[in-house]
Every structure is written in structure tokens, then in C-alpha cells.
Amino acid sequence: MFVICIQVTMILYEVLRLYPPSIHFSRKTCKKVLIGDKRYPAGMMIELSVLLMHHDPDIWGSDVHEFKPERFAEGISKASRNSGAFLPFGWGPRICIGQNFALAEAKMAICMILQRFDFVLAPSYTHAPYTVVTLHPMHGAQIRLGLI
Ligand code: HEM
């Protein structure tokens, strides 16, 4: 049961890597700041693209666009060449306070579904992720459920 729970966590992490609901963060500098070797004045808007970081082959490897939950087998810090590159829940003082709740809820929902059903994508499904506030499937995600 413990192994299955770890596998479900790996699958959820890989889904959140490929399709992070929040694809970018915005921050405004309130005073002059130095980030790396660059200086920014006060009042600058800075955009951090989570989507680009999660899809960067220099960070994740040449298989970056493939769905490979096993990359998280040894945890988040060993999944990529940059341990801070996985940001589905943000980072720092404004990190998502609901992340543990969200992951626990997703695991419970998946486990309850898998106890009763198997499922495959319906033929009508078209893969078209797009963003309106959060990233989600443009035409929905139709699945075909089968009673076990
Ligand atoms: C898969 C589910 C979720 C994802 C991907 C997610 C993602 C995020 C991200 C990226 C941020 C930081 C935004 C930023 O830095 O600008 C954030 C903040 C936040 N999230 Fe979530 N979230 C999820 C679920 C939840 C849930 C279930 C709750 C509440 C029960 C929640 C409550 C919050 C709150 C209150 C903040 C603001 C924290 C602050 O500014 O101090 N989130 N979330």
C-alpha cells in the first residue's frame, strides 16, 4: 500500500510538472534589488515562467516532454538538475498553504476511483491545454469509465 501511495505521488508530481495549473508568477520589486548579476529598480514587474522551467531540457533532460513519473522516484530534489526547478505550488514566503491538502485530496480521489473503476481516455478527447487563470484542457477531459 505504501509503495502504491509513493507511485501515486510520483504520478501527481509529473502531472503538475507537465501541466502546472499556475503557469507563471508575477512579482513587483518594492525597492532596488540584485537578482543573480542583474540589478532591477523599484516598481519593476518580474514574471517567472513555471511552464518554461518545467519544460526546460537543460534542467530535466532530453525526455522533458515525456510523461515519466519515475523521474520523481527519489523525490523532488533528485528529479532534475536543479532542485529548485519544480514550482507547481510556488516557493518562498507565498508558497501555497494548501499544497498538502490538495495532494492528499487528489490521492484520496484517485484511490476511491481506482477501487471501483478502470478508465481510459474517450476517443473524443483532444489534447489542448490552455490557460484561463489556470491551465486546463480546452475541450474538457472525456474519459470512459468501466466498472471493475
Ligand atoms: C493542485 C492544487 C493547487 C495548486 C497547483 C496551487 C498553487 C498555488 C500557487 C502556485 C501559489 C503561489 C502563488 C504565488 O506565489 O503568486 C498558491 C498560493 C496559495 N494557495 Fe494554492 N494551489 C493549489 C491548491 C490550494 C488549496 C486546496 C488551497 C486551500 C485549501 C490553496 C490555498 C492557497 C493560498 C491561501 C495561497 C496564498 C498563500 C500566500 O500568498 O501566502 N491552494 N497556490
What is the structure's pLDDT at 40? 96
Q: Would you list the domain boundaries of the chain? A: 2-147
Hey, which bits of 29-128 come out as E strands? 33-35, 38-40, 45-49, 117-121
Q: Say whether the ipTM exceeds 0.95.
A: yes
With contact defined as beta carbons under 8 Å apart, do 83 and 93 qualify? no
d(CA 63, CA 67): 8
CA of 103 to the centre of ligand 1 (A): 12
- Assess whether the C-beta atom of 21 lies below 6 angstroms from ligand 1: yes
- Pick the closest to residue 89 from 38, 17, 35, 39 (CA basis): 17
- Assess whether the C-beta atom of 88 lies below 6 angstroms from ligand 1: yes
For 54-64, the pLDDT digits (tens) are 999 999 999 99
Query: What is the rounded (10 degree) CA torsion for 129, 66, 83, 86?
Result: 10
What is the structure's pLDDT at 1? 67
With contact defined as beta carbons under 8 Å apart, do 8 and 107 qualify? yes
In words, the CATH class of domain 2-147 is mainly alpha
For 98-121, the pLDDT digits (tens) are 999 999 999 999 989 999 999 999
What is the structure's pLDDT at 13? 98
CA of 134 to the centre of ligand 1 (A): 12
